[in-house]
A and B are shown apart, each in its own frame.
Chain A
């Protein structure tokens, strides 16, 4: 099976690359009839008056504000920290699938936060300026989201695992991982600001293909052939980093971040992704070290098994995502 894949891989990768270059616009957000809109008007710093500009069909629907805010309808008191943090709705379900909170600050443009069953919360934020508390809050939220995203993203982790396997360790590994990091940071930024956009399905398929590629390269290396990655590790890592960054971006944009805080959110999200990735690399390297200490290494006949497992899993993903 693996022998046929390399050719398929190039076709798929080429297709995905074309799509990236075309910069297809993202699919328009679907509108639903059962929309509810709560408008919050700031009457004094940290004090809001709420009003349903589009009342919910389900009367039990209730907004959930960050813990430091006190909601006594129709008044919302958030104190000097202001309305920052997680916004959500209780009772979102089949009757009422989408709800929006519109915030009219007394000194700034309106922000809208939409919550749906598929995206159960939105994060309210304001331009932090010099307010350290807001900075810390933003950092905490987005760094955690970044860590969360990379650690849940088994496809990204498998790719990094493949890179570690291929490059083995030392300075070369540091350079390769850095190249991957630079690559995905660039494309994450580009996609978050809307400079490029890629439909999700082909993107995911292309990411799956990148893992198949690494699997093939490992097998090649074990047979004594010098593959592309072995010769130009950081170039390959950079190129695929670009691809994986687009994948991170789709996770970030689905959160619905207000424009005012987008660059900061992006920065912290990326920091979170790097922390998570570093944690993973450290655990893998520690385990490899432990295996060497215990001389618990795979026998020669089984050395190729992990590469085949990585390759097969990724091929399966590719087929299901195409």
Chain B
């Protein structure tokens, strides 16, 4: 019976770890499916710049409404996979971290200012972020003991962050909610700016 309870306590642990997102990424690429899924799951949650940018993607999708709200969750993982392939292959892409931070700022601004570009323009902006996000994770993949489990973990975490963004984004139906969503966007932009300063070495 105890074996059934264990995953829940692990999840509690995982959630507890999420509460301190500024902690360094735990490099526990342990053996086994469970560890693989867990470490993959935690990876995007422990990088706050990734985390906020992903929530921003969901928020923006909800703000843009049809068809962005459903094009986004289906195409994002695939574009991310392309970035992941680049990361696995070891191709050196410079300025990954600053670019992720910049895309966080850009996405946050879009949400905050309620910008409504044509779908293709939005797709390109989100796509750039997806590629770099996938690239950063793809670099980790060869080190994972169980690559499939690790990939499943981080893909699920990514999807859940989108979902979170979309769920918050549902608030745009109400006037006050729309304002709250825009405020979230502004906050995300600020977080992105903070990490940009960190990435280029202006602040430690």
- Does A143 count as interface, using CB distance less than 8 angstroms? yes
B1 contacts A by Cβ under 8 Å: yes
B2 at the interface (CB under 8 A from A): yes
Query: Can you list, as one digit per residue, whether each of B1-35 has a CB less than 8 Å from chain A (1) or not (0)?
Result: 11000000000000000000000000000000000
Contacts of B2 in A (CB 8 A): 140
A137 to chain B, nearest CB (A): 11
* Residues of the B chain whose Cβ atoms lie less than 8 Å from the Cβ of A139: 1
Range class of the A interface residue count: under 10
Alpha-carbon gap, A143 to B2, bound state (A)? 12
B-side contacts of A140, CB under 8 Å: 1-2
Task: A67 to B2: give the CA distance in the assembly, Å.
Answer: 16
Categorize the interface residue count of chain B: under 10
Q: Which residues on B sit within 8 Å (CB–CB) of A235? A: none
Write the chain B residue with the least CB distance to A140: B1
B window 106-150: CB within 8 A of A: none
* A144 CB contacts on chain B under 8 angstroms: 1
A140 CA to B1 CA in the complex, in Å? 7
Tell me which residues from 69 to 108 in chain A have a Cβ below 8 Å from any Cβ of chain B. none
Contacts of A117-147 to chain B: CB distance below 8 A: 139-140, 143-144
- Interface set, chain A 24-67, CB cutoff 8 A to B: none
- Complex Cα gap A25–B2 (Å): 38
A-B contact pairs, 5 of them (CB 8 A): A139-B1, A140-B1, A140-B2, A143-B1, A144-B1
Find the B residue at minimum CB distance from A275: B1
Tell me the bound Cα distance from A123 to B1 in angstroms. Answer: 18
When chains A and B are docked, how far (Å) is the Cα of A261 from the Cα of B1? 21
Bound CA–CA A143/B1 (angstroms): 9
Q: How far is the CB of B6 from chain A (nearest CB, A)?
A: 14
CB B174 to nearest CB in A, in angstroms, measures 37
Q: Smallest CB-CB separation from B2: which chain A residue? A: A140
In whole Å, how far is A178's beta carbon from the nearest beta carbon of chain B? 23
Whose C-beta in chain B lies nearest to the C-beta of A143? B1
Interface string of A127-171 (1 = CB under 8 A from B): 000000000000110011000000000000000000000000000
Residues from chain A with Cβ under 8 Å of B1 in the complex? 139-140, 143-144
Distance of A274 from chain B, by nearest CB (Å): 14
| CB of A139, distance to nearest CB on chain B (Å) | 8
**What is the minimal beta-carbon distance from B114 to any residue of chain A, in angstroms?**
43
Q: Which 5 A-B pairs have the closest CB atoms?
A: A140-B1, A143-B1, A140-B2, A144-B1, A139-B1
Minimal beta-carbon separation of A130 from chain B (angstroms): 21
Q: In the bound complex, what is the Cα–Cα distance between A139 and B2 (angstroms)?
A: 11
Residues of B with C-beta under 8 A to A143: 1
Shortest B177–chain A CB gap in Å is: 37
